[in-house]
Amino acid sequence: MQPRSEARRLGVSFTASLALHLLLALLLTYAYSHRSHPPTSPTRPMDVFLLDQHIKPQHNPPKDARTLSNRNATGGAKEAHDQVTRLARAPRPAMRAGHHPTPTPAAPAAPSVRKPPAPRPQRKGAVPAPRKHEPHPNAKSHTKPQRIPLNQLLPSSSELAQLSQRYQRARRMRQLNAREADIPINTREAKYAPYAQLLVRALEEQWRPGEADYNRYSADARQATIRLTIEKNGDLGGIEILRPSPIPEINESAIRAIHDAAPFRPLPRAWGLDRVSFYLTFEIINDRFVFHRM
Q: pLDDT of 5-54, one tens digit each?
A: 888 888 889 999 999 999 999 998 888 777 766 666 667 777 766 666 66
* 209 band by pLDDT with thresholds 50, 70 and 90: confident
Angle, in degrees to the nearest 10, between helices 193-206 and 248-261:
120
* 294 band by pLDDT with thresholds 50, 70 and 90: very low
* 154 band by pLDDT with thresholds 50, 70 and 90: low
Q: How many residues does the chain have?
A: 294
* For the ranges 42-46, 133-137, 199-203, 218-222, the one whose mean pLDDT is highest: 199-203
Q: What gap in Å lies between CA 282 and CA 227, rounded to an integer?
A: 11
Count structural domains, the chain.
Answer: 1
* 282 band by pLDDT with thresholds 50, 70 and 90: confident
Is residue 114 classed as helix, strand or coil in its secondary structure? coil
Provide the residue range defining the domain that includes 234: 180-210+218-291
Q: pLDDT of 210-223, one tens digit each?
A: 777 878 888 888 88
CA 149 vs CA 93, 122, 153, 155, 156: distances in Å: 94, 60, 7, 12, 13
- Whether 240 is in a domain gets the answer yes
- Whether 185 is in a domain gets the answer yes
Contact by Cβ (8 Å): 181, 277? yes
pLDDT given for residue 276 in this prediction: 92
pLDDT given for residue 214 in this prediction: 79
Is residue 157 classed as helix, strand or coil in its secondary structure? helix
> Looking at residue 263, which CATH number applies to its domain?
3.30.1150
Q: pLDDT of 75-116, one tens digit each?
A: 555 555 555 555 545 555 555 545 555 556 555 555 555 666
**Amino acid identity, residue 211?**
E
pTM of the model: 0.40
User: What DSSP string runs through 161-206?
Assistant: HHHHHHHHHHHHHHHHHHTEEEEETT---TTTHHHHHHHHHHHHHH
DSSP 285: S
Q: Does the structure show a pLDDT above 50 at 65?
A: yes
Is residue 22 classed as helix, strand or coil in its secondary structure? helix
Q: What gap in Å lies between CA 181 and CA 168, rounded to an integer?
A: 12
pLDDT given for residue 286 in this prediction: 64
- Whether 266 is in a domain gets the answer yes
